[in-house]
Each structure stands twice: as structure tokens, then as C-alpha cells.
Amino acid sequence: MLITIVFYLWYLFIIISTSIVDEKNLRSQSLDIIIGGVFTDRDEGTTSRSMESIFKYAIFHYNRLANDAHNLTHKINLQAETLHLVSSESTLQTVDDVCSLVHQRRVQGIFGPPCIELATLAHSICCHINIPFINVCSNCYDPENLAGDAEEEWDNVTRHDCVSINLYPSNEDLNIAFHNLTHKLQWNKFIIIYDIESGLTRLQRVLNDPGLNQTDILVRPFTHINDRSALLDAIGRDVFNIILDLNDLNTHAVLKMALQMGMISSSYHFLLTTLNIDSYDLEDFKYNFVNLTAFRLFRRDDQRVKSAMDSFLLFKTMPIDDINQRLFTTSVALWVDAVLAYAYAYDKLITSYGGFRSEAIRPNISCVEDNKWPLGAELGLKFSEISFDGITGTVKFTPSGKRTGFELDIVHLTETGLTKIGVWSREQGANFTLISSSRGTLFNSTLIVTTIIGAPYVIYKHSENATIILNQTYSNSEFEGFCIDLLDELSRELKFYYKIKPITTGRYDDMVEEVKNKVADLAVAPLTINYAREKKIDFTKPFLSLGIAILFKLPKPEKPGLFSFLSPLSLEIWIYTFVAIFTVSFILLLIARCSPDEWRNPYPCDAEYDYLENRFTVSNTLWFSIGTLMQQGSDVSPSAISTRLVSGIWWFFTLILISSYTANLAAFLTVEKLVNPIETAEDLAKQTKIKYGLVSGGSTEQFFRESTIPIYQAMWKFMISNPEVFAKNSQDGIDRVKSESYAFFMESTSIEYTVQRECNLTQIGGLLDNKGYGIGLPEGSPHRERFSEIILDLQEKGIIQKSYNKWWKGKGTCSSDKKDSKANPLGLTNVGGIFVVLLGGIVLSIFVAILEFLWHARKNHADRRHSVWWELLKEVRFSIQCGASNRKALSIRRCSQCKSDQNDSDPCTLPHQRHRRSLNSHSSSLTSVNFGHTSKTRTTTEKTPELDRFDSILMLATEKENHFDSRSRRRQSSTRSQRKKSSSLLLIEQQPSNHVHHIQTQQVRFNRNPDSSVKHSLKSQRGEDDNGNSADVNVPLSSSLSTNSRFPLRVSRL
């Protein structure tokens, strides 16, 4: 049993060892495969000898690297057999040459030729004898190029009967790639320049895009090497996007001509359909700000590419003129991958059969005998099973032989050369981002700048009547203004030149269209940044911030009112002031009558005078308060501490009040008030007298059109319902504001500039929104960030603000606000109110005087033989008599008793009514406080009716004395003793039955001329002397007293 187990193990070991040895022998066995290359002198852009050298180099590079480097199971050596076809040969001769190559040289695959016609013929031969056909032709044997065959039939044929492989990306994939790219670049208008009509098959999706206007797509042929017609057509039609579908030689020629015609600038964008862009000499273009974009199939910095280029340099059989590093083109890379793909497929075929087969090594193939290669169809199927990373990317095929799974690099020309900006794939489409340029990108380039002429932004230096020609560019030296200063700073930083292309329509949206369509490189003007414009072009950071405001005519100054002198204080202050006057007067009156120090002897020289007076009556107190308020004095002055304290506080109050009033009065009298009929946009919307509008087609119109605020929506409805309110441009709107009742909506910066120069215009209200002016660039421009950086730098340095002050507040500003050296004189309109007050006061005083005159005339009517009006006329005649004396006789009205007595020698000297008032008031004067009288007795004793009567008489005498002037009192005081000796004393004696009153002797003095002599006799009828002066009279007491109470009253002259 053990022996049996050992035997089986030994047998298994021998079998395994044999298999390993066979496998090693199989791997070490080298298989030589012959492949043929067919070339012609009509190959694309190259000679047949160059293509033959490239084919042989590809085989050399493959054989140079070990099989392990290619990860092949079997060692396969490839040998090349080539055939040169002459374009003048007939089709029969070409077929015979290809069949001879296959039959005599025993080739197992045909490569080439790139020529479309011969490639189609060679493909048919290979299909007939079942030999794989491999090519790298960009337009060869696609289903669209095979007459009478549909794509489905083609796929079926190639899958079962024919083997045809093409490493060049299919036209279907390129169609999708170019359509994705142009759509991402948002090209709506472009021109296609082609040299072969069949090449347009890879642009069918672009041409038939339903989203494009077919009239904006131009297709022009390139007929010869110096054909400039297509470029001239692009210039004439303002087309700035150009697709070049040309071979390498023609592409380079067109770019040279574009450089000579000034089209290599930022205004133009070239898209190349060639995948061979890496082999182009672009040194003359990369410093001229050209936009050049293309697809690239391989990267030179890839390690596999570097290895292939090393083999390229070591390939000695190629003439030195035909091989250099720049000639390592996409075609060369595709040939290398094509040879490698054949080796991978053949390795798969051998592996599937478990080793080499004789029919695989030396097939007997003949076109005449219709001998097909039995393994040819299977070899064709192996191409769809392989997948490897070649120097052109991932290499894999569909069952129909089309390449799939590859990616294309999107490259853009910059100052450093071609730069990868994105990748395209069938699954993901075009994903790229244009790289921002560096400082040197704009160096020495000339940019076209579109703008709108209008102060202070862009001002034409020549005559204002000069005409700007449409679509013509001008030198920057012909213009000045804020935007020109900004452009000068930008050009100084970025080292570029510029020309001005003004817009003649005056519409800002036209500038946006010019930048969008690449007619201009920049839009530098008061161009507002908004969402609608951002969808069309790119903007830099704002260089000015602003908003929409209202421009309106400055209202005419309103003259000061007639009573403008009341304006410094508000109505409530005036009311409080009058309340304060009456309140302080009442408090002062109350305190004065309560304070003992305010009661004083009216005759300080008469120490025995029995009565004290208080000068703070109601009228005097009001006069004191008003006089103090008016900064005037009064005869009344406080003596007590309490009254002085109240007076001091009142003086302080009037000082502050009058000072404030005086300080504010000057402004109200001299400043002319401006009253605007509108203050805000709401006021404008609520009225109908003043029309309002804006410039049509601008950002201001868009603001109102798209606003969601109800007040702005209502204003927009009004404007669209009245089209005449829209202005053609800003200047038109300004002119309408000056000449009509019209309010104009415009940017606040423009309003500020206008107001500085138009003295009769002003800005109404605040800003309706906030926005900014920016520089417009084509969408996707790589220079936006750089422009924005410089704008921010200029703002931080204050250069933009300095330029703003120069153009807004510099020369030409309005000078109406300059003050004259002399103040304007005040007119009647300023101070007419005080004259009205003066006139009113005079009229009122005359009216009061007349009332007083009438009242006192009636009250003191003495002569009953004449009427009151006769007495009044007499008094008026005396008052207006020129040269009349300033003294007149005292008129004393007689009582009823005197009326019945016909003896005029003893008249009643006391008016009857005064008797009663004096008696009534005398009793109340004995109290401590009496608002009706200003005197009080020193001592108070028990009174009798007789004494009361006498006190009344004494009070009457005192009242008469108060009318003496101060000089008379001083004279009387100095001669007091003398008058006492000569004057008669009034002694009143009364001895009633019950008690006796002793009354002090009181001197009775009447107002009279002290110089009158004793010889003047009394006129009893009228109580006057000869000169009409008052005389001393005997005053009998009234009979109302008791019969024994008559007082002997003896009155003599003083």
C-alpha cells in the first residue's frame, strides 16, 4: 500500500515538472510575426517615406522593450514589410500589389495607409482574405464613409467576417467632444474653416445644434496655403470664435496669417480639431494674448512617452531630417500603440490555443485562390478583449474595432506654453476651468475698449459737435475722463495698450453685447453690475459704489413770512413764556404784599405820616415782569429778600430766553427756506403733477421692472403706461428736469456730478438700492481676477478717490453757494412783521387812550351847563393846541347838594361818588393785605362814623399830594417850618355825648401853584383861581353825620 502511494506521488511530480518545463520552453520560445505597412504619397501632411520610418520605428520600439515590460505571456517578435503605393496607379494595380504583399511575404496584418481612398480599398482586401486591418486614420472607413453600408451592417460584418481596427478616436466620439466644448464655452456665433469635406463629419453635432441660430454659423473652405478669404470674412462679420478643421500644415499657415492680420489677440478664440497640437511651434503666439484651445491625446511628461521618445532618438535607420523630438507627433504615438495592440491581441490568440500552431506562424493566404486565414476572424475578436495603458492613454476597442475608454486633455495656450485646463471623456463630458493669466499675459497687447461718451467718465477732447463714426476705434489720447484715468492705471500695471471704440446708440446693453460677441475686449464705462449682465459677460470687482436716486429741480427759495420773527421760538414756547409772565407777576405780587419790607412811607421826610404804601400793584407787577423780559427798566424795584430772589430768578430766565431768541433770530431772518414738493420716492408716486422717468434699456429700468416692492411696481406701471417719460440718454433726462416739471431716476454718482455743475438741480431723498460699476470682460476671461486685484489696490492707495475728486469736484463746479463778503441786507419781507406789530400797538394805544379820555371826561364833568361832549371837545382843543401850557386847572365835579344850591361861592369839593368809594375802601385798608389799595395806617384805634368820614377826607388829600412832582416836594420840605407858621391848620374837634376822640392835627395839602398869593380869591362856582389852578376851599362835612358831628374844617392856602 505504501509502495503504491509513493508511486502515484512520483508520477504526479513528473507530470507537474514536465508541465513547468514545457511552460518555460513555451515562454522562452520566440515567435516571429510579419506585419505589412502600406503607404502612399497622399498621406496626411507627411511623405510616404516618413510614414514608413514611423512604422518601422514603432516596431523597433516594441522589439526594444522586453516582453515583461509589455506584460505579454509569449515572446513575439515583429518584423515589418512595407509597400509603397503610387497615387497614379489604377485600382486594379493597387489590389494586385497588396495581394502580392500578403501572399508572398506571408504577412498576418496590414497597417495603413492613412489615405482615405486607399485605406478603404486595403480594408476591403483584408476583409476578403480575413486578415486584420489596423490604421490610425482620422477619417478612414467610418460607416459614414462606406457607401451603401449602414452602421449596423458594418458592425456585423467586422464582427464575423472582417477585422478592422482604428486607434484614432472615432468621429462619433469627436463629435460629442467638440460639441461639449463649444457648449461649455457658450459659443453662439462662430466660423468653421476646413480643408477636407469629410473632416466635417466630426463637427456634425456642432453644426446641427438646435440651440444655435444657423445664420450665426459660418462654414468656409480653405482652398490654398495663402487663402485669407475665410479670415477676412470673420473680420467683416464680427465673428470672433474660429474652429480650424485643417491638417497640421494648413493649421499652422492659418495661424500665421491670423497673426499678420492682427487676429491673435484676446478678442479672438481659436479651437483646433487636430489632436497633434503638441507638435506645433507656438512661440510666436503665446505672448500675444491669443485664446487657443485644443484636445490632446497624450502627455509628453508621461514616463511611457519619455521611453518611446528615447527609442525614437535611438532609431538609426530614419534619416536625421525626418526624426527629432518635435516630430514625435500624435501619429507617431498612435502607431506605437497600434503595434502594441496587435501584439496584445496575438498574445491572446496564442494563449487561447495553448501554444503556437503552424497555421498561425505561416498562413497560406491568397487573394486569387480565395484562401482565407483561418485564425484571422478569431484574432479580430481578440482586439475587443485587450485593454492596456499605452502612450496615448487607455487602449481598448469595441467589437466593431472602434477605440473606446480613452480621455482627451483640454489644453489652452498661455505665456508658458500649452497648459492642461481640463479633461474630456465620453462618460463625463468636458470639464475644464480656464487658468487665470499672470502679469505677463497682457504684455504689449492692444485691447479694444468699448464705452459710452459722457462726462465725467469719457469725454471727447475735440469739438462737442464732432461726430463719432460707428464701429471705428480711436486712440486713447483723443479722450479724457474718469474711466480714461482708470484705464491708464490698469494699462500701466498690466503693460498693455488700448483703443477706444465708443457706442453711438447710448445703450449700455449694446456694450454688453459687444463684449459678449468679442467685438471688444473690455467694457469700461458707468456699467452697472447686475444678474442679467453677469449671465452674458464677466465683471471685475466694483470700482465705484452707488445707487439709484432722484434728480429734481431745486425749488425756489421761500421768502420769510411776515411774522418770521416769531419763528426762533416754537408756539408752545411762546405760550409757556406768556404763562410764565402772568405766573411770576402773580407770585411777585403775593410775596410783595406779604413782605413787611415792601410797605414803605411815601414821605420819608415826614416821619409822622400815618400811612405805608406798597408799590407792587397788579399793574406795576405786570409792568415789572414785561419790562424785565424786554430788557428794559421800570420804576418799581424790589426791596425784600424774597421779592429780590423771585426777581433774580426771573432775570436769569429772561437772559437765557432772550439770548437764545437773538442768536436764532438771525438765521431765521437771513436764511431763505427751500421747500421741496417731494422728499422721497413715495411722495413722487403719490402725486400726479410731477412726471418721472428714466433711461430706457439700462440697469435703472431693470431695477423698476423686476422690483417686488409695491411702491416701485406702481411707479413702473405709471412709466410704461406713459412712454413719453422715458429719456433717450442721461443728458436728455437732465435737460427735461431743467425745462419741465420732471423728476429723473439715475445713478447717484451721475447725479452728484450734475448737481455740482447745475446750480438749479438737486438730489431728492436717499438711495433706492446699492450697486456698483464694474469692468466687463468676455465670459470665462482668464484676466478678470488680475483686473480685480489691481482695482482693489488702486482703491486702497486712494488713487480712484483722487481721480473721483478731480472729475466730480474739480473745474466747472457750481459757485452759487459761495458767500459774499457782505451780508445781504434785510428787506421788508424779512422784518415787515415787526412793523405790523408796531402799527398794531400804536393803534391799540390810541384806542385805549380814547377810552381813557372818554371815561375820565365823563367821570370828572364839572360844569353841568355844558354837555359831556362839549367838555370833551374843550379838552381835545386844549390838548392839541400848539404852545399850550403843560398845566391845567383841576376839574371837580359837584355833588347833588351843590346842584340845588345856587350859591356858587361854596362848591362841593369832593365828588359824590368818591365819598362813597373812599368810605367803603377805608375800612378794608385797615387789614394787613389789600389788593385794591397801597396804603395802610401806622396804628389802628377804634373808629366812629365821624372819624371814618374824616379819614376819607384825609385820604383824598393824600391822593392829591401824590400828583406833586419831586421838585415841588423838595421845595416844600426845605421850607417846612416856614409853611407851618403861615399855613392854617385843620382842627377837627368833636365832643360826642358818650366819648371824645383826640385826633392828631393833619396838614391838608392840595395840588396847586405854590407861588400863588393869598390875594387870589376862591371861585366858589368852579373851585378855580384866576389862572385855572386848584384852590383851597372850605370843605363842609356831609349832613349824613349826626347834627352835632359837623367838623369845623378850616383850609387856607399853603
Minimal CA–CA distance to 121: which of 204, 51, 56, 38? 38
Cell of 310: 528615447
Please report how the helices 828-859 and 641-670 are oriented relative to each other, as an axis angle in degrees rounded to 10.
Answer: 140
Cell of 345: 491581441
Q: Determine whether the annotation assigns residue 526 to a binding site.
A: yes
Q: Determine whether the annotation assigns residue 433 to a binding site.
A: no
Number of residues written out for the chain: 1054
Cell of 224: 490654398
| Strand-pair partners of 500 | 449, 474
| Strand-pair partners of 454 | 458
Please report how the helices 828-859 and 868-880 are oriented relative to each other, as an axis angle in degrees rounded to 10.
Answer: 130
Minimal CA–CA distance to 455: which of 816, 795, 808? 808
Half-sphere exposure of 161 (CA within 13 A, CB side): 10
Q: List, as own/partner pairs, every contact residues 470-478 make where C-beta atoms lie below 8 angstroms and the sequence separation is at least 24, other chains included.
A: 470/504, 471/501, 472/501, 473/448, 473/499, 473/500, 473/501, 474/499, 474/500, 474/501, 474/502, 475/499, 475/500, 476/500
- As a whole number of angstroms, the distance between CA 54 and CA 70 comes to 20
Cell of 33: 510575426
Burial (CB count within 10 angstroms: exposed 0-12, middle 13-18, buried 19+), residue 1023? buried
Q: Determine whether the annotation assigns residue 699 to a binding site.
A: yes
10 Å Cβ neighbour count for 959? 13
Q: Determine whether the annotation assigns residue 700 to a binding site.
A: yes
Tell me the CA end-to-end span of the chain in Å, nearest whole number.
Answer: 191
Question: Is the backbone peptide bond immediately before 560 cis, with ω within 30 degrees of 0?
Answer: no
The C-alpha torsion from 433 through 436 and 437 to 442, rounded to 10°, is 100
CA distances from 426 to 135, 233, 407, 441 (A): 22, 34, 8, 33
Cell of 202: 466630426
| Strand-pair partners of 1038 | none
Yes or no: say if 110 and 97 are a contact pair by the CB < 8 Å rule.
no
Please report how the helices 91-105 and 116-129 are oriented relative to each other, as an axis angle in degrees rounded to 10.
Answer: 50
Q: Which residues of 275-292 are buried (b: 16+ CB within 10 A; e: fewer)?
A: bbbbbbebeebbbbbbbb
Question: H/E element holding 484?
Answer: helix 482-494
Minimal CA–CA distance to 807: which of 547, 540, 544, 551? 544
Minimal CA–CA distance to 435: which of 412, 461, 465? 412
- As a whole number of angstroms, the distance between CA 354 and CA 23 comes to 10
- As a whole number of angstroms, the distance between CA 753 and CA 804 comes to 10
**Cβ-Cβ contacts under 8 Å for 5 (sequence gap 6 or more):** none
Yes or no: say if 163 and 212 are a contact pair by the CB < 8 Å rule.
no
Question: H/E element holding 62?
Answer: helix 48-64
Q: Strand 403-404 vs strand 776-778: parallel, antiparallel, or unpaired?
A: unpaired
Q: Determine whether the annotation assigns residue 1030 to a binding site.
A: no
Q: Determine whether the annotation assigns residue 533 to a binding site.
A: yes
- As a whole number of angstroms, the distance between CA 389 and CA 395 comes to 6
- As a whole number of angstroms, the distance between CA 61 and CA 274 comes to 25
Cell 515589418 -> residue:
80
List, as residue ranges, the binding site for L-glutamate.
526, 528, 533, 699-700, 747
List, as residue ranges, the binding site.
526, 528, 533, 699-700, 747
